[in-house]
Amino acid sequence: MSNRVASLSMLALIVAILILSACTLPQIQMALQPSGTPSPVVSPTPSPTPTLLPCGTNIQCLIEAARECKPQTGTVTISVDLGVKVKITYQFTIKGKVENDCVFGVHAQNVSVEYSKQSKQTNSNALNSTGMAQPKTEQQRKQILSQVRGKLPNGTCRGSGELLAEVLTRWQEGHFSLDDLNVFGCTK
């Protein structure tokens, strides 16, 4: 009886070792080569997803990442005074290269339209002289805000990382247009 217990214990130990070794070894599948001899095929390990490093509000960091199309995130705020002050905060997420294109996401996080002091005074004087009520000005501001939001890209964009770096550099220098990102064919 003790031989039988010892044999069963030994068998259980061997089974446990086989199970553990099967769990810890890389997964190997057998494939047949043209010659008919089996050869081991190791399943490829997926490459890790690149880590997105935050540039925060540092536009120069984002420009450098765009130039090399390195994964990166950052926020860029643009202010333009066109009689009304338009302020847009963009969130950029550079995802990396796909084929020959730099792929990045862009999202307008915050958009505001405010009348400048001079514009408010001019509008107020014009409204007082015509007898028009002040809410018309607020209605116009909301209409302009709606038009600006309608022109902003939100989604995934593709194109030259070098071109994106040039656009961001122009923005950094104060040269901004609502159409600057149109060349990237952004999709929602």
pLDDT, tens digit (0-9, with 9 covering 90-100), for 124-180? 554 454 444 445 678 888 888 888 888 888 899 999 999 999 999 999 999 998 889
- Mean pLDDT, rounded, for 76-101: 91
Report DSSP letters for the chain, one per residue.
-HHHHHHHHHHHHHHHHHHHHHHHSPPEEEEE-TTS-EEEEEPPPPPPPPPPEE-TT-HHHHHHHHHHT--EEEEEEEEEESSEEEEEEEEEEEEEEETTEEEEEEEEEEEEEEE-HHHHHHHHHHHHHHT--THHHHHHHHHHHHHHHHHS--EEEEE-HHHHHHHHHHHHTT---TTTTGGG--B-
Q: How confident is the model at residue 93 (pLDDT cuts 50, 70, 90)?
A: very high
pLDDT at 91: 96
Q: Which residue has the higher pLDDT, 75 or 147?
A: 75
pLDDT at 44: 41
pLDDT at 72: 95
pLDDT at 107: 95
The overall pTM is greater than 0.75 = no
pLDDT at 173: 94
Percent of the chain with pLDDT over 70: 61
Residues 16-74: tens digit of each pLDDT: 444 434 444 443 333 334 455 544 444 444 334 556 668 999 999 999 999 999 999 99
